[in-house]
Amino acid sequence: MNADPASVHQQEQVREVERVSPQTAMTSAPTQDQAAPLVARCQDGDRAAFRTLFERYAGRVHATVYPLITRKDEAEDVVQKVFLEVHRSIGSFEGRSLFTTWLTRVAIHVARAHERKWRLFERSRRVPGEDPGALVVIEGGQAEDPQRALLVQERAVLARALLARLPIKKRIVLALAELQDLSAVEIADILDIPPATVRTRLFYARRDFERLARRDPRATQLFGLEEPA
Amino acid sequence: MSGHLDDRRLFEALDGQGTAHERAHLAACTSCQRALAQKQAAMQALHLAAARPLGSLHLRQLGDRLLGALPAQVSPPSHVRWWLGLAAAATAGASLALLAQLTLHKLAAPADRSAAPALVQHLPEPSPAPSLSGLPVSARTSLDSAPPPLPTEPLSASAHAAIPSPNSAPRTPPALRSTKDLAHDFEELTKLDNPAAEPPDPSDLAIERPATDELEQHLAQLESAPGDHPLELLQTLPTLLRVAARQLQPQQLELIAQRIANLALDEPGDEMASFLGCETALLARRYPAAMDLCQAYLRRFPQGPRARDVAFLAASTARLQLADCTRAVPLYDQALTFSGVLQSYNDEAYLGRALCHRQLGDLAGARSDLNLFLFKYPERRRDREVRSLIEQLQLSP
């Protein structure tokens, strides 16, 4: 009996995840794509199924795109754009990867496009001599007056601002590895790059984030870091 | 060589990896322990950048908006699209060939064939051999049965056509109003604010003249069936009122608004009726009453399908008609709470909120909204005005 190539690929993928990262495999890798029936209904034009798909995965998409974009209040726009894109392209999803892998890929693609557009815009609006990394100001009134903001909010704003200073490629692997707890293999599958490249990129991303934080006086104060020697 | 662990080894140690030798060194070396603690603190700080989970109610609202914006059909898979493209190209090619053939025959047609119907006489004689176009004869004969051109109707008929007969269709829930409708409402709202600025176009009047009659007829139908208003009639009421409002005097409008209020549309729990109460009052320029009705809607149906639309209309009314920015800002906030990509009027909402922020002395808030406007809607008609405002604000202390 011939097995479905898509399911064979998925099983191989799961085995690889289990081999490299047993802990992650236990918690997140299903033995088959649980979204498959829902996706099939969406592909048949079932709007109720698409609604269910949205409600099931919007949180995941939000968690993915949120660290990748500079303006946090744009996150919901990006989530909607992602699902508009999913709706447009779901007919071409053939089940060669897990649906969540494909969805994350779409989310990253849309978030990157959005971020690129924002960066271009922000660059065109920047006052000469202004610190290009002073993204905290963009977060709105709360950050302009830290005394008014709660400490937790201020720390979160600062963490996002530091993250936003990293190049988008590093930001993506850092967000997927640290904030989504995905393994190098899973990230490699999403980004379509070798796992070794993911590990290398992740190392540089972590190192750069740490350096940025330690060079920022507010970050050293708020996060208990030491300035580099 | 110092023997201390480098950054890469330290991050690996943070992940619980590394050789026994490295672990032993780490256990003994305070310098490496300190470096490891710094990395751990940095990664903990990074976790603060994670998103907060979306609430289920929030998700439902986002879903509502998203579904409203989706096209009816899912795009077919790419391999299917390829075949569809080929089929479409073949059909188009065949049609062109047929057209060319018809044209050639027309040029060569003898004068005495004029007795036949126009399209038929241009067709070649039926032949068992495939024609140049490759189309079957049935395709050609379909030209004979092509529908005749639509008769030219007076323009006013389009307004009539939008009004369903009360007996024509079963009572079905009305569709949500499109963002285009709302944008139109907003346009009308600002136009009504200053009717002298734009004299009515005579051709517009030609379209609108029957609207007052139609409105009267419509109201009479609604008044004749108290307590059992067909939703179709209710739904078209604001459209009719909007069109008729430009021809009516304020006193006439006030009378009509009163008649609409007497219809007791605000039956408890009827979200649609509550919405209409707000909208008709707005169109009748009863602004203080409209604000109360709109805010009543928002209190009763804060998650209603039209909550954002009502919030936007109420915010615009508060700012433009009542000059009450304190009231307008939270309404703009509500209108902009869920996403900006799917609503055509959000640019106006950002601009309106920015102007209110400025008026209330919140220059940072105004700058933020204006920058958002430019970012999201760089091609909109008012972007020059917005740039000028930003320049003014940057000069402000």
Q: How many CB pairs under 8 A join A and B?
A: 154
- A95: nearest CA in chain B? B77
Contact B67 A51 (CB under 8 A): yes
Best residue in B2, B7, B48, B67 for a mutation probing chain A (most A CBs within 10 Å): B48
- Which is nearest to A99 in space by CA: A14, A5, A157, A36? A36
DSSP code at position B307: H
* Three-state secondary-structure class, residue B288: helix
Residue with tokens 């204006």: B370
A184 touches chain B (CB under 8 A): no
CA B19 from chain centre, in angstroms, equals 59
Contact B374 A47 (CB under 8 A): no
Taking the C-alpha atoms of residue B123 and residue B120, their distance in angstroms, rounded to an integer, is: 5
- B34: nearest CA in chain A? A226
Where does the pLDDT of residue A187 fall: very low under 50, low under 70, confident under 90, or very high at 90 and above? Answer: very high
Best residue in A81, A82, A87, A183 for a mutation probing chain B (most B CBs within 10 Å): A87
**Chain A contact set for B60 (CB, 8 A):** 55
CA distances (Å), B313 to each of A219, B51, B161, B290, in order? 43, 31, 27, 10
Q: Would you call B73 exposed, middle or buried from its count of C-beta atoms within 10 A (0-12, 13-18, 19+)?
A: exposed
A144 touches chain B (CB under 8 A): yes
- Answer whether A82's CB lies under 8 Å from A126's CB: no
Task: Tokens for B381, please give them.
Answer: 């008609």
A155 touches chain B (CB under 8 A): yes
pLDDT confidence of residue B351? 84
Contact B76 A214 (CB under 8 A): no
- Answer whether A225's CB lies under 8 Å from A219's CB: yes
Contact A91 B338 (CB under 8 A): no
CA B251 from chain centre, in angstroms, equals 33
Instruction: Measure CA of the first residue to CA of the last residue in chain B; give whole Å.
Output: 57
DSSP code at position B143: H
- Which is nearest to A141 in space by CA: B30, B371, B53, B339? B371
- pLDDT digit string, tens, across residues A124-167: 555 444 443 333 333 333 334 445 446 777 888 889 889 989 99
Taking the C-alpha atoms of residue B394 and residue B397, their distance in angstroms, rounded to an integer, is: 8
Interface of B with A in 31-50 (CB under 8 A): 38-39, 41-50
Q: Beta-strand (E) ranges in B237-316?
A: none
DSSP code at position A146: T
B395 touches chain A (CB under 8 A): no
Best residue in A68, A76, A139, A198 for a mutation probing chain B (most B CBs within 10 Å): A76
B11 touches chain A (CB under 8 A): yes
CA A60 from chain centre, in angstroms, equals 9
Coarse DSSP helix, strand, coil percentages of chain B, rounded to the nearest 5 percent: 65, 0, 35
**Chain B contact set for A43 (CB, 8 A):** 74, 77
Residue with tokens 């004689």: B125
**Chain A contact set for B7 (CB, 8 A):** 203, 207
pLDDT in tens, chain B (397 residues): 468 889 999 998 888 888 888 888 988 999 999 999 999 899 988 988 888 777 776 777 778 777 777 776 665 555 545 555 555 566 666 666 666 665 555 444 444 433 333 332 333 333 333 322 333 333 333 333 333 333 232 323 332 333 233 333 333 333 344 444 444 444 544 443 333 434 444 344 333 456 677 788 888 887 777 666 666 677 677 777 777 777 777 777 777 777 776 775 555 446 767 777 787 777 777 788 889 988 888 888 777 767 777 888 889 889 988 889 999 998 988 887 654 444 556 777 888 898 899 889 888 888 888 887 777 766 656 677 777 877 777 755 4
Taking the C-alpha atoms of residue B342 and residue A77, their distance in angstroms, rounded to an integer, is: 8
Task: Tokens for B83, please give them.
Answer: 């075949």
CA distances (Å), A22 to each of A17, A189, A192, in order? 7, 17, 21
Contact B67 A213 (CB under 8 A): no
* Torsion over CA: B176, B179, B181, B185 (sign): positive
